[in-house]
Amino acid sequence: MAITVPRPNLNWRERMYLPAIVAGLAITIKHFKNMLFGRTRVTMQYPEEKWDASLPDYYRGAPALVRDEDGRVRCVACQLCEFICPPRAIKIIPGEIPSTNRFAKVEKYPEEFDIDMIRCIFCGMCEEVCPEQAIYLRKDYAITGFTRADMVHHKEKLLEIGGVMHGVVLKWNEKK
Amino acid sequence: MAYFIVTSLLKIVGILFLVILPMVSYSVYAERRVSAFIQDRRGPNRVGPAGLFQPIADIFKLLLKEDFTPRTVNTFYYWLAPCLAMMPAIITIAVVPFGSTLFGVPMVIADINVGILYVFAIASLGVYGIVLAGWASNSKYPFLGGVRSSSQMISYELSLGLAVIPIFLLVGSLRLTSVVRYQIEHGWFIAPFIGDWMNPWKWLLAIPMLISFVVFAIAIFAETNRLPFDLPEAEQELAGGYNTEYSSMKFALFFLGEYAAMITGSAIIVTLFFGGWHLPLPSWHGGFHWVFVDGNAPGWRGVIGGLFNIATFFTKVAVLIFMFMWVRWTLPRFRYDQLMRLGWLFFFEIALVNIFIAAGILAFIRP
C-alpha cells in the first residue's frame, strides 16, 4: 500500500536554508571551543588513566590461586573447578604430598594448574565451586600475550596474581 | 636568464616541498583533530606531542602497504588517474602570489597575464582524474562516482567563473598580482577599510563582492568534492566512490589531492577576496594610520617584511581551511537533485545578477 508521506510546509525563512546553516555552524563551533578549552568531559585516556581504583569488590577479572598464611598453595587438586569450568579452560594435574611433609594430611596438591586465558570467560564458577576457597577472580583485566602459549597462565603466574589470602577457611589447621 | 631560472626553481622547490606538501599532510591531521573536537573526541594524540607526528606515520603506512592492481582494470588509465587527481591542484598554485618580494625576487612562481583563466583551466582538469579513475576501475560504484563528479563539476564551474567577474570588472586585469596590488591600494574586496574608506560607494560595492565571495566559496566546495558536495565519494552510498578500487600510495594520491585542491582553492579565495599576502599593521605614531609592510625595504627589514607577507598569506589560507573543515563537520550531504537544483537554479542566477549589480554600481563611481 502506498503511503503518502506528509511534507511540512516551510515558510520562506526555512526555505532559504541559510539560518539553519548558521545555527548549525554555531553549534559545532561551540563544541570545538569547549573541547579546545578543556570544558568538555571526554572518555578516559586509557593507558595513562586507569579505572583500577574504582573497580568494585565483586569485579570478576583474571582467576588466580592463593596461598594461605603458611605459604601453602591452598588448592588441594580436587578438580571441581576443572569439571565445572564451562569453556574448559582449566587443566589440573594432581600430585601427592609426601608423608614426611608438614601438610601430609592434606594429601594432594596441584602439580600443574593451567588456566587458558583465551578460553576463560570470567564467569567465576571456579571461585564459587571451590571447597577450599583456593581460587579467586582478581581485578586483573588486561591479559595480553604475543602467542597462544603466552596466554596460558601456569601455576606460578596464577599464584603471583593471587598472592596470600589470610584466614578464610582454616579447616586443615587442627590436623597439621 | 640564468638568474630567473635559478630563482624560479628555488621558488618551486621551496613552495612545493617546504610549504604545500607539509601543509597537505598536516591538513589531514588538522581535519582529524578538528572533526574530533567538534564531535567531543580527542582525535589522534599518540604519535609525538599531541599527535603531531601522525602524518609521518600515515605516510609510512601508505608507502608500505601493498599496491594492488585488480585484474579487470584498464591498467594505463588506472595508473594515470591518481596522478591527474593530484597534479592540477598543485600546479594551480604557480600563479598565486604568496608573498611580496624576498631579496628582490617576486614571490610568485609564474606571474602570467591570464592568471585567473589559467586557474580555471587547470582546476577543471581535476575532474579527469576522478572520471578516469571511475572508468578505468571497471567497477560499478567507482563508475557512479566518476559520473556524478563530472556532472557536478560542470554545474559548478559556471558559477565559479561568473562569480569572479565583478572583481575583474573592478581591477581590469586578469593578472593575480595586480588583483593583490589593487586591494593594497583600495582595500580588500570583502572589507575595503584602506584608502578612502569613508567613501560610501566603496562599501556599496562590497555588497556584490560579498555575494561573489559566498558563491565562489560554495563553488570551490563543490569543485574540491568537499562535504556538503562530496557526492563522488559518498562513502555511505558508493562504498568510497571513485577511489574504491585503489590501494596504497595511489589511494593516498587521491586522498591528498583532495586536500591539495582545498589548499589551492583557499589560496585563490584569499588572493581574490582577502587581499592576498597583504596585512596592514595599525600605527598610532602621529595619528592613526596603516603601516604597509613588504619586502622592498633595504637590508634585513626587507627580509623580515617579505617573510611576514608569506606568513600572512599562509595564515589566511589556514583560517580558510579551518572554515572548510568546520563546514564539513556541520552540514549533511546534499541529495543529488538538490545539488543540481542549487547549482543551476540558484548559484548560476545569483552570480549572473551579481555581475549586473556590480556593473551598475561601477557605472556611477570611478574607483
User: d(Cα B116, Cα B162) in Å, to the nearest integer?
Assistant: 12
Neighbours of A12 (CB within 10 A): 6
pLDDT in tens, A35-77: 888 888 888 888 888 888 888 888 888 898 888 877 888 888 8
Asked if residue A5 is part of any domain, the answer here is no
Please indicate, yes or no, if residue B26 is contained in any of the structural domains: no
Distance from CA of B109 to the nearest CA of A (A): 36
- B138-156 tens-digit pLDDT: 888 888 888 888 888 888 8
Q: Which residue has the higher pLDDT, B237 or B46?
A: B46
A175 belongs to a structural domain:
no
Distance of alpha carbon B6 from alpha carbon B13, whole angstroms: 11
Cβ of residue A25 closer than 8 Å to a chain B Cβ? yes
Question: B121 lies in which domain range?
Answer: 67-364
pLDDT, mean over chain B: 83
pLDDT over threshold 60, residue A171: no
Instruction: List the CATH number of the domain containing A79.
Output: 3.30.70.3270
End-to-end CA distance of chain A: 83
Residue A87 domain-assigned (yes or no)? yes
Element (H, E) at A115: strand A108-116
CB atoms B330 and A24 under 8 Å: yes
Query: What is the pLDDT averaged over residues B259-266?
Result: 88
Tell me if A41 is assigned to some domain. Answer: no
In a domain, A28, yes or no: no
pLDDT at A172: 54
Whole-number pLDDT of residue A174 = 58
User: Is the predicted pLDDT of residue B353 greater than 80, yes or no?
Assistant: yes
Tell me the shortest Cα–Cα distance from B1 to chain A, in angstroms: 51
Q: State whether A25 and B330 contact (CB < 8 Å).
A: yes
Say which of B34, B40, B331 has its CB closest to residue A21.
Answer: B331
How distant is the Cα of B340 from the closest Cα of chain A, in angstroms?
A: 16
- In this structure, is residue B17 part of a structural domain? no
| Sheet containing A152-153: order of strands | A90-96, A108-116, A152-153
Establish if A18 belongs to a structural domain.
no
How far is it, in rounded angstroms, from Cα B271 to Cα A63? 67
- Report field, pTM of the whole predicted structure over 0.90: no
- Does some domain include residue B34? no
Q: Which of B35, B319, B330 to mutate to test the interface with A (most CBs of A within 10 A)?
A: B330
**Cell output for B140:** 560499478
CA of B144 to nearest chain A CA: how many angstroms apart?
A: 28
For chains A and B, what is the number of CB pairs under 8 angstroms? 34
Contacts of A25 in chain B (CB under 8 A): 326-327, 330
Q: How far is CA A86 from CA A112, A114, B194, in A?
A: 20, 15, 81
Residue A45 lies in a domain: no
pLDDT tens sequence across B277-286: 888 777 777 6
Cβ neighbors of B23 (< 8 A, separation 6 or more) are B263, B314, B317, B318
Q: Within 13 Å of residue A33, how many CA atoms lie on the same side as its CB?
A: 6
- Assign 3-state DSSP to chain B and report helix, strand, coil percentages, each to 5: 70, 5, 30
In this prediction, residue B310 carries a pLDDT of 86
Domain count, chain A: 1
- In angstroms, rounded to a whole number, what is the distance separating the alpha carbons of residues B105 and B108? 9
The beta-strand segments (E) located in chain B are 101-102, 105-106, 281-283, 289-291
Q: How many CB atoms lie within 10 A of CB B47?
A: 15
How far off is chain B from A148, nearest CA to CA, in Å?
27
CB-CB neighbors (< 8 A) of A35 in chain B? 36-38, 40
Which of B32, B35, B40 best tests the A interface by mutation, with the highest count of A CBs <10 A?
Answer: B40
Is B145 among the domain residues? yes
* pLDDT higher than threshold 60 for residue B173: yes
Give A34's contacts in chain B (Cβ within 8 Å).
40
Considering the domain boundaries, does residue B76 fall inside one? yes
Q: Per the domain annotation, does B187 fall within a domain?
A: yes
Tell whether A144 lies on the interface with B, counting CB pairs under 8 A. no
* Domain ranges, residue A129: 52-170
Interface test with B, best of A21, A28, A40 (most B CBs within 10 A): A28
Selected residues 36-65 of chain A with any CB under 8 Å from a CB in chain B:
36, 40, 42-43, 45
Name the minimum distance, in Å, from the CA of B353 to any CA of chain A. 18
Note whether ipTM > 0.85 here. no
Count of domains for chain B: 1
pLDDT at A92: 92
- Rounded to whole angstroms, the Cα distance separating A14 from A18 reads 8
HSE at residue B309, side-chain half, CA atoms within 13 A, is: 28
The nearest alpha carbon in chain B to A23 belongs to B330
DSSP per-residue letters across A62-114: -EEE-B-TTS-B------HHHHH-TT--EEEEEEEPPTTSTTGGG-EEEEEEE
Q: Is the pLDDT of residue A169 over 70?
A: no
Q: Is A138 inside a domain boundary? A: yes
Residue of B nearest to A26 (CA): B330
CB contact under 8 A, B37 and A31: yes
Please write the tens of the pLDDT for every residue from A100-157.
888 887 888 899 999 999 999 999 898 889 888 888 888 888 888 899 998 998 888 8
| Assigned domain for B253 exists | yes
Residue B35: inside a domain, yes or no? no
- Shortest distance between the Cα of B329 and any Cα of chain A, in A, equals 8
Q: Which three cell numbers stand for residue B309?
A: 607577507
